[in-house]
Structures are given as C-alpha cells and as structure tokens.
C-alpha cells in the first residue's frame, strides 16, 4: 500500500489544483456538451439542497414522516 502511495504522489503530485480542474472541466464540456453539464449541475444542486433539508429535519425532531412529493 505504501509503495502505491509513493508512486501515485510522484506521478500526480499529490494535489489537484486549479489548472487540473480546468482541464477536467474542459474535457467534460467537450465530451458531454453544455446542455448535459447544465443538467448535471442542476441535479447536483437539488441533491445537495434535499440532503441539507433532510439533515435539518432529522435534527429538529424527525419523528414525523416527511410528506411525499407529487410530480
């Protein structure tokens, strides 16, 4: 395990910085397109919002069942 870690740190530098993130974003943009990335961002934001809401509900008493959402 330690041998793999030292190899991966030497090869990748051990950190992901801004240049690496920009390169990954550019590749994702080329691969998926702007529409799919916008949908992914929207879904990710809604998921985080729902997760935070669930945590807040569980901390405030959580004995009552949450009402089902209608679509």
pTM recorded for the entire structure: 0.50
Residues 28, 37 contacting (CB under 8 angstroms):
yes
- Burial grade of 37 (CB within 10 A; 0-12, 13-18, 19 or more): middle
pLDDT tens-digit readout, 15-47: 888 999 899 989 999 998 989 988 988 999 999
Task: Report the pLDDT value the prediction gives residue 58, as an integer from 0 to 100.
Answer: 85
- DSSP H helices in the chain: 2-12, 18-32, 34-59
Task: Report the pLDDT value the prediction gives residue 39, as an integer from 0 to 100.
Answer: 93
Residue 45: partners with Cβ closer than 8 Å, 6 or more residues away: none
């Amino acid at each position: 395990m330690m041998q793999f870690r030292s190899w991966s740190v030497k090869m990748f530098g051990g950190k992901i910085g801004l240049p690496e993130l920009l390169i990954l974003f550019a590749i994702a943009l080329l691969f998926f397109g702007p529409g799919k990335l916008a949908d992914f961002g929207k879904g990710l934001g809604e998921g985080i919002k729902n997760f935070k809401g669930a945590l807040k509900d569980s901390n405030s008493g959580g004995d009552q069942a949450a009402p089902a959402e209608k679509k």
